[in-house]
Structure formats: structure tokens, C-alpha cells
Amino acid sequence: MRKPTTAHWLAFLLPAALLAGAWGAQLLGGLYPCQLCHWQRWPHYAALVLAGLAFLVPAGRARGALVLLAALAIAASGAIAVAHAGVEYGWWPGFTACTSTIDFTNLDPSQRLDAIMKAPLVRCDHAPWTLAGISLAGFNAIFSIAGAITILALMTRERA
């Protein structure tokens, strides 16, 4: 049984690290996730399971297929993160209930209060934390897409 490749290790460790960061930000930093944040996590969970299963199968097509699927799941998280970052930066409108487009201009005070009370607690169109102008969704997009491309490139090189 051949040892796992660099691509395999990256397909396992990248989503593990990104999920650890997300959970750390939530549990230690008090940055609670919105709906789109949760959507970004699901493909990473899938990638972690797929890459983990790949450790259990002999080297060959089955292992390669699992690592490939993990890379595609990581890329999917990156795509969701691009969509989320675009909502946060105001590039396009949000498409979930966690974005706010309340127009207060024609509302009386009781209607305004009602609109505020019905607004989601954690909004998808507001970045609660940034570093150098890049939100957590932006960082996930960068790391996930770059990681998926790297895994695919390594898979190609390691097969040759």
C-alpha cells in the first residue's frame, strides 16, 4: 500500500484547518455564522470525509477518485464563499433571508420596530471581521479555490 500523496494530505488538512478556523472564530471569537457561512462549511465537511476515506483504501483509482471529489468539494466551498463575499462587499444582492434590504422611508415607527425585530440576528451582507479589507468569506474563497487548484495540479504531477 503506497503512502498518501501530497495532494491527498492537502485535501485532508486544508478543510480541517479551514473548519478549525471557522469553529475557532465562532466559539472563541464570538463570530456567529450566518446562513451563507454554514453553506460554506458543508462542502468542507464532505471533503474531510472523502479525504479521510481515501486513507482507508489502497492506492489506485479509488483513492484518486476520493481525493478528486474532495478537491471538488473544496472548490465548491470556494465558489459559495465568492458568492458570500460578493454579498458582503455589495457587489450583488443577497439571495437568502439573512440579508437586509429594509427601506425605512415609508414606515411609521411601529412598522420600523416590527421590521427590525423580524430582521435576522446574523446578517449575510455584513462582514463582522476583516483583515486588510478581506472578510472571512473572502479568505475562505482564496484558500479554498487556491487549495483546490493546487490539489488538482499535484494530482496531475504525482500521477506522471
Q: How would you write the pLDDT of the chain (160 residues) with one tens digit per residue? A: 578 889 999 999 999 999 999 999 989 988 888 889 999 999 999 999 999 999 999 888 999 999 999 999 999 999 999 999 999 998 988 777 666 656 667 778 888 778 777 765 777 788 888 889 899 999 999 999 999 999 999 999 876 4
Does 121 fall in a domain?
yes
The 10 Å Cβ neighbour count of residue 50 is: 22
Q: Residue 135: which H helix or E strand, with range?
A: strand 134-135
Residue 134 forms part of a structural domain: yes
| 118 occurs within a structural domain | yes
CATH of the domain at 80: 1.20.1550
Place of cell 490539489: 151
In a domain, 119, yes or no: yes
Domain holding 95, by residue range, is: 6-159
Residue 1 lies in a domain: no
pTM: 0.82
Question: Is residue 22 domain-resident?
Answer: yes
- Residue 92 in domain: yes
Cell numbers 486588510 correspond to 132
Alpha-carbon distances of 81 from 16, 23, 92, rounded to whole Å: 16, 16, 13
Please state the domain count of the chain: 1
In a domain, 73, yes or no: yes
